[in-house]
Chain A
Amino acid sequence: MSWIGRLGDRLKKAGRSFAGVLALGGSERPLDAEFWEEFEEALLAADLGVGTSERILEGLKTVARQEGWRSAGQAVERFRRDVERFLDLPGAPILLDRKPTVVLVVGVNGTGKTTSIGKLAARYTAQGKSVLLVAGDTFRAAAADQLAIWAERSGSQIVRGPENGDPAAVVFDGITAGIARGVDLIFVDTAGRLQTKNNLMEELKKIRRVTERALGRAPDRTLLVVDATTGQNAISQAMLFNEVTPLDGLIVTKLDSTAKGGVVLGIVERIERPISYVGLGEAIDQLEPFDAREFVATLFDPQ
């Protein structure tokens, strides 16, 4: 089943649907003030945020005037098309064009970094690639144990250090080991950290620096893991992580929840980086490459 299908199932179970906006425009409803207000509320309820929602509405209203739209359906159709195009950015998938390709995974606490790495590792080992996981979260109790279980499940190797040890040292060892063993792909797991904690962000800078030193170049991909249930704070997360360790893409997790994850629009608007993968459940195969068309279709039409 496609991820859209699964998502649709979840939504049916929830007894509600994303259809709000579509229903708004489905009929031959006139483009009146009431429609625009409902449209705005639908966007706000999907976590798009006041700023992004206002910009979208203003843009749509302007075009509506210029092109003389009459029905709400036209506005909704245009919105769908524009958002698809907007989210469709190049550079989303991990390319194995270097050996080893190194992927640094960062984010705040509890977004699903370790789980996402486990699922990604499984995806690549299934393709016959050799994968090494580096347990760079030395802070949270048993974080390395958790990654070790994912390594076993996915048939990957793992490099770990002592709990409460220096994460940068573990990362250096891990990457050096990965190069020596000639693996195809290295995932570096890092501890969750709130983006406003300077000392922890400095630690992340150091991890990136050490990666560069061990590898002789910057990490090939730095991915930020964002929880789809997060509200407007996700924008602050993306901006501040991007300052400390330039991001190449996002992994949006927990999209199988009832949250719509609309805040990613604001993130993409600001950092201009694509969504690489989406997490849709706890099973090992429930992490899929992002597809802008399907994402937007799901927003409006779960069936």
Chain B
Amino acid sequence: MFEQLSDRLGALFSRLTGRGRLSESDVTEALREIRVALLEADVSLSSAKSFVARVKERALGADILESLTPAQTIVSICHEELVALLGGAEARLQFSDAPPSVILLVGLQGSGKTTHAGKIALRLKEQGRRSLLVAADIYRPAAIAQLQRLGEQIDLPVFERGTADPVETARLGVAEAKRLGISTVIIDTAGRLQIDDALMTELERIRAVTKPHEVLFVADAMTGQEAANVADGFHRRLGITGIVLTKMDGDTRGGAALSIFERTGAPIKLIGVGEKLSALEAFYPDRLASRILGMGDVLTLIEKTRGIYTEEQAKSLEQKMRNAQFSLDDFLDQLRQVRKMGSMGDLLKMIPGMSRALPKNFELPETELKKTEAIICSMTRQERRSPQVLNGSRRKRIALGSGTQVADVNRLIKQFDQAKSLMKQFGGKRRPQIARGSFR
């Protein structure tokens, strides 16, 4: 996410950093580069202009030409301004003291409202809040069926009345939640253009009868220059309270986020980062700003690795490593835990500097990980505990069983042995390295 923008600014600033002092033309060039990068990232023209103007004003005010570290000064100014542009402090969903809380999802067609109704419901469920999903999209074929299917997947009720009046459906949905004692209502509405007066009036009526505590504008992160105008159209008629930014897991530079916030003042509350229903994250403006500036996103990485291991698991693993009792079973276990965190490529990109160091569209071969998993799964218990018993015919059997080649099996065993001897060397000194050696 935002990779290209951080690449460009990162490259620019590393070039400037190498020089120590900046000339006035350096500053002008930097500002021009920032403007181009922002535009290429789909930040709206007016937002890009005002951003550059603010940076320039502050840069001149700070007298950066006299500063010993002028590049750092510009970077930190850009960073602060970006954080401000992205919405300042982290914004959370608001709930009513008197349940049910009502969340209304609105947006253009295809932005991901139905999918995110499911994602938000799952997230709230994990936080101990049950939701009733209300299907108020009567226009798109099978939209109701889609919401029902999602409801089944996350085991939450769905309220629908077929293609009957969506305003009445929404009203009855809230009443139903009250009756069932469900704390949250999530209303999925049909996608519509902000200039479609009839459909916008329908939304106003839904809003009037359900009195939502959150009106979330669901926006595709890949939206171009119109993003701010579209959001503004929804905002003026409905009063948006927050933004859900979807499809942030691609290579989009996501500049739409900047301009939407700037225009509506509604904070970005959640971001969709994958196809799985669990792929929804809180939005941290400061992290994203760091990332835009090529400073990496270590905080997200830490958050992702946290919760993968319990304290106990980590201790027992450490003990095993110390005593060199680490078996292929433990290895398999680690591998699976790591895969839970999501794509390796995504993880690596969060490390500072990595987005520039890695080739474009880099992704670690998930197939290799799968292969490793298959090989270990094709071993007997004894073989996993003591790989030294693996003779030629056993290796052949494992290769056949896992659909790989004997060479693959050999390579895995070799890597495992190396990893083990490394552990002996470092025994006791280190925390477990995550699946070291599994992807060379």
CA distance A197 to B251 in the complex (A): 10
Indicate if A258 sits at the interface (CB-CB under 8 A).
yes
Interface string of B148-177 (1 = CB under 8 A from A): 111001000000000000000000000000
CA distance A51 to B41 in the complex (A): 12
- Which residues in B have their C-beta under 8 angstroms from that of A140? 115, 146
Inter-chain contact B42/A232, CB cutoff 8 Å:
yes
State how many angstroms separate the Cβ of A243 from the closest Cβ of chain B: 10
Inter-chain contact B108/A44, CB cutoff 8 Å:
no
Indicate if A50 sits at the interface (CB-CB under 8 A).
yes
List CB contacts (< 8 Å) of B110-157 with chain A.
110-112, 115, 139-143, 145-146, 148-150, 153
- Which residues in B have their C-beta under 8 angstroms from that of A46? 225
Contacting residue for A232 out of B45, B224, B250, B361, CB 8 A: B224
CA distance A280 to B139 in the complex (A): 16
Inter-chain contact A257/B108, CB cutoff 8 Å:
yes
Interface string of B223-248 (1 = CB under 8 A from A): 11111011000000000000000010
Inter-chain contact B40/A198, CB cutoff 8 Å:
no
Inter-chain contact B141/A229, CB cutoff 8 Å:
no
| Number of chain B residues whose Cβ lies closer than 8 Å to a Cβ of chain A | 50
State how many angstroms separate the Cβ of B365 from the closest Cβ of chain A: 8
Inter-chain contact A227/B195, CB cutoff 8 Å:
no
CA distance A196 to B275 in the complex (A): 13
Inter-chain contact A142/B224, CB cutoff 8 Å:
no
Most buried by A among B40, B222, B275: B222
State how many angstroms separate the Cβ of A288 from the closest Cβ of chain B: 18
Inter-chain contact B145/A142, CB cutoff 8 Å:
yes
Indicate if B253 sits at the interface (CB-CB under 8 A).
yes
Inter-chain contact A141/B225, CB cutoff 8 Å:
no
List CB contacts (< 8 Å) of B332-387 with chain A.
361, 363, 366-367
Q: A232-B42, A258-B195 are in contact. Are A141 and B251 (CB under 8 A)?
A: no
How many of chain A's residues touch chain B, expressed as a range? 35 or more
Inter-chain contact B108/A229, CB cutoff 8 Å:
yes
Inter-chain contact A13/B225, CB cutoff 8 Å:
no
- Which residues in A have their C-beta under 8 angstroms from that of B193? 10, 254, 256-258
Most buried by B among A110, A139, A199: A110
- Which residues in A have their C-beta under 8 angstroms from that of B249? 194, 196-197
- Which residues in B have their C-beta under 8 angstroms from that of A227? 110, 220, 222
List CB contacts (< 8 Å) of A76-117 with chain B.
108-112, 115
Contacting residue for B247 out of A45, A47, A194, CB 8 A: A194
Contacting residue for A110 out of B42, B109, B251, CB 8 A: B109
- Which residues in A have their C-beta under 8 angstroms from that of B195? 10, 13-14, 257-258
Closest to A150 in B: B141
- Which residues in B have their C-beta under 8 angstroms from that of A258? 193-195, 226, 229-230
Inter-chain contact B226/A259, CB cutoff 8 Å:
yes
Inter-chain contact B42/A233, CB cutoff 8 Å:
yes
- Which residues in B have their C-beta under 8 angstroms from that of A236? 251-252
Inter-chain contact A233/B109, CB cutoff 8 Å:
no
List CB contacts (< 8 Å) of A197-256 with chain B.
197-199, 227, 229-234, 236, 240, 254, 256
Closest to B249 in A: A194
State how many angstroms separate the Cβ of B403 from the closest Cβ of chain A: 16
Inter-chain contact A112/B109, CB cutoff 8 Å:
yes
State how many angstroms separate the Cβ of A6 from the closest Cβ of chain B: 13
State how many angstroms separate the Cβ of B375 from the closest Cβ of chain A: 19
Indicate if B36 sits at the interface (CB-CB under 8 A).
yes
- Which residues in B have their C-beta under 8 angstroms from that of A111? 110
List CB contacts (< 8 Å) of B248-269 with chain A.
249-253, 255-256
State how many angstroms separate the Cβ of A39 from the closest Cβ of chain B: 13
Indicate if A303 sits at the interface (CB-CB under 8 A).
no
- Which residues in B have their C-beta under 8 angstroms from that of A58? none
Inter-chain contact A257/B142, CB cutoff 8 Å:
no
- Which residues in B have their C-beta under 8 angstroms from that of A150? 141
Inter-chain contact A254/B109, CB cutoff 8 Å:
yes
Inter-chain contact B250/A233, CB cutoff 8 Å:
yes
Extra contacts, 5 of them, besides A142-B149, A153-B141, A194-B251 (Cβ < 8 A), are A50-B40, A109-B112, A110-B111, A112-B109, A196-B249
Q: List 28 A-B contacts (CB under 8 A).
A: A110-B109, A110-B220, A110-B247, A112-B109, A141-B150, A141-B153, A142-B148, A146-B145, A148-B142, A149-B141, A197-B250, A199-B366, A229-B223, A230-B220, A231-B223, A231-B255, A233-B251, A233-B253, A240-B361, A254-B193, A257-B193, A258-B230, A259-B224, A259-B225, A259-B230, A260-B225, A260-B226, A282-B139
